[in-house]
A and B are shown apart, each in its own frame.
Chain A
Amino acid sequence: MSAKKLNLKDKYRLLTRDLDWEYSYVDRKKAFPYEEFEGIKITDWSKWEDPFRLTMDAYWKYQAEKEKKLYAIFDAFAQNNGHLNVTDARYVNAIKIFLTGVSPLEYQAYQGYAHVGRQFGGAGARVACQMQSIDELRHVQTQIHAMSHYNKYFDGFQDWTHMHDRVWYLSVPKSFFDDARSAGPFEFLIAISFSFEYVLTNLLFVPFMSGAAHNGDMATCTFGFSAQSDEARHMTLGLEIIKFLLEQHEDNVPIVQKWIDKWFWRGTRLLSIVAMMMDYMLPNKVMSWKEAWEVYFEEAGGALFKDLARYGIRMPKFVEVTEKEKEHVSHQAWWIFYNYGHAAGFHTWIPSDEELDWLSEKYPDTFDKYYRPRWELAKKMEAEGKRFYSQALPQLCTTCQIPMGFTEMDDPTQIAYRSSDYEGEKYHFCSDGCKHIFDEEPEKYVQSWLPVHQIYQGNCGGASVEEVLRDYYKLNLGADNLDIKGSPDEQRWKEWKGVA
């Protein structure tokens, strides 16, 4: 006897909403213990509109097809020595940052969505989060496979998970996600699905993927395309969660607004690394960070927040600061890494003269006035054989954990200092945004694992910075770190290309 074939609609119902059941011997509140403590009020989960409209079997089939194509391209890339087609050895350093800083966040996202995919009372939300969780796991896997080819030919790719957990600048992305995952399930979705995936993701993925395309990196470009249809689904979850929460109860509005304020600012700080990648690390530039911010946040985000105004949601707090920061943030971020290039797991360098001119052209109001002089000094010292590296550890912001290198936006030669006192201790911040986040939830950020303080507490091994870098971070000193000039990466590249 053959089983009756289900039509699509029935199949969808059975494989999503119908996975829920009435609880006969457990109190529902005990089954979903995380659902209320954030103060969010859900009156009717049945109003949730499933964002993905995808059943698990269809999902499986669809992803398998994409996977086949993707791995065929990876194979071709490897067999044809694809690494020789990138524009320059400098480019690969952007990919090192991606592998150590971004791919582990995909893994964190996988864990985060798996967790909240258990915690929501509504079956639709649970299924959507579980599917996204699997997507995120796929993304980390495909990224590792795409970049593993570079590991055979370049330094700095060998210990990326270890580095993510320990290296000072990687505490910036790591603590961003730790913050989201240690929040409740609704805040996690506003943080990651809405604020990051919906509002800001184009500023991460478009620059990296079009950067890859502009610089001959077929492997990275291809995983980007393969992830794109997943990302589009993730954005619909971001939009659904915000609409759902705002429509469920008016008391949710101020809570959601607070989370948008927090995660928008957290996101902009995290993206400062993308800003410097676009303006300084890509040998073939796509567009300036300032242009990207204008297109992907100011225009697209502006329209989104106009739509959300009818729910009583306004633009994120401190958005006016970002309008000024777009002129400065990439320059200040790359300067931090140039200063601490001896302690980084990738190479740093002075922009070429053509690149300096490109920056002047893209940043007519700020570059020549504030940033070209920094590079002129670096050039002078390099020419004298004195390429400098900072000889003391930097002060970090307690919230974003970035060295305190950002300036007052109305006085760009003055470092911005903000501080708060909490239970007899002083805390320091790079900006009003980071101070505000701390002041809202000080109990959380007094626990910040600030790499510089951890070194001084003796929790990162050896007494000297060199021992910390070599033994605790596992950097191959002299190969992974320092300037690209004279690095083994550069020497090999020249040999391959037959240049002296």
Chain B
Amino acid sequence: MSVRAITPDYKVQARDRVENFHGNQIVYVAWDRHLMFCAPFAYALPPTMTFAELRDQVMPEAFGLHEEFAIINWEKATWLLDNQSFTPDLNQSLQAQGVGHKSVLRFQTPELTGFQGKAV
């Protein structure tokens, strides 16, 4: 469907195109079933950043507030990229492995069940 506009051929540019972010792209990251964090985090990241840099340098500041974050076994953690199962390559850039502008990255740690085992 499209909007009914009073202007014929109403055309606009999307406000959040990647070129508006000064060389960065937006990537959303969430830890499933850990609702201490009320919502996924939004990061502005260089597309050339490696997955290791994202995981080990960017994510700890916010996710590290959860006491389970330090004990995650990353070998066992699983990931979803835009709702598809995904195996990150730590040494490759985000761009090179398909983590694009406004992609959603979610990770699951089934052995860590959150505060009181209640997904918090």
The residues of A with any CB-CB pair to B shorter than 8 Å are 33-34, 37-39, 184, 332, 335-336, 338-340, 369-370, 373-374, 376-377, 388, 390-396, 403-405, 407, 413-415, 417, 419, 422-423, 425-428, 439-444, 446-450, 452-453, 456-458
Contact = CB atoms under 8 A, between A and B. Distances in A.
Nearest to B20: A457
8 contacts: A335-B38, A393-B41, A419-B82, A428-B102, A443-B3, A444-B3, A446-B13, A446-B16
B39 A394 contact: yes
B71 interface: no
A184 to B, nearest CB: 7
B40 A404 contact: yes
A443 B16 contact: no
Contacts of B96: none
Contacts of A395: 28, 30, 39-42, 104
A440 B1 contact: yes
A423 B20 contact: no
B62 A392 contact: yes
Contact of B12 (A447, A453, A456): A447
Interface of B: 1-6, 10-17, 20-22, 24, 26, 28, 30, 32-33, 35-44, 61-62, 65, 82-83, 100-104, 114-116, 118-120
B22 A441 contact: no
Nearest to B83: A417
A419 B81 CA distance: 13
Contacts, number: 149
Contacts of A407: 35
Given A38-B4, A392-B61, A394-B42, A415 B115 contact: no
Contacts of A340: 38
Given A413-B33, A417-B104, 5 more contacts: A369-B118, A388-B65, A394-B39, A404-B40, A446-B16
B41 A413 contact: no
Given A38-B4, A456-B44, A449 B39 contact: no
A428 B28 contact: yes
Contact of A443 (B5, B22, B35, B118): B5
B49 to A, nearest CB: 15
Contacts of A453: 15-16, 21, 26, 42
Nearest to A450: B16
A391 B62 contact: yes
A457 B28 contact: no
Nearest to B2: A443
A448 B1 contact: no
Nearest to A458: B22
Q: Is the interface of A mostly helix, strand, loop or mixed?
A: mixed
B52 to A, nearest CB: 18
B95 to A, nearest CB: 15
Contacts of B15: 446-450, 453
Nearest to B22: A458
A425 B18 CA distance: 9
Contacts of A373: 114-116, 118-120
Contacts of A38: 4
Nearest to B115: A377
Nearest to B45: A456
B36 A377 contact: yes
B104 A419 contact: yes
Contact of B10 (A184, A370, A443): A443
A396 B16 CA distance: 13
A332 B38 CA distance: 8
A325 B15 CA distance: 31
B72 to A, nearest CB: 17
Given A390-B38, A447-B15, A456 B24 contact: yes
Residue of A336, A395, A419, A428 with most partner-chain B CB within 10 A: A395
B35 A442 contact: no
Contacts of B62: 390-392
Contact of A37 (B6, B30, B65, B116): B6
A185 to B, nearest CB: 11
B24 A442 contact: no
A340 B42 CA distance: 14
B8 to A, nearest CB: 10
Nearest to B43: A392
B22 A374 contact: no
Nearest to B31: A415
Contact of B38 (A369, A403, A414, A428): A403
Contacts of B39: 336, 339, 394-395, 403-405, 415
A456 B26 contact: yes
Given A403-B39, A443-B10, A414 B116 contact: no
B1 A393 contact: no
Contacts of A396: 42
Nearest to A442: B2
Contacts of B35: 335, 374, 407, 413, 415
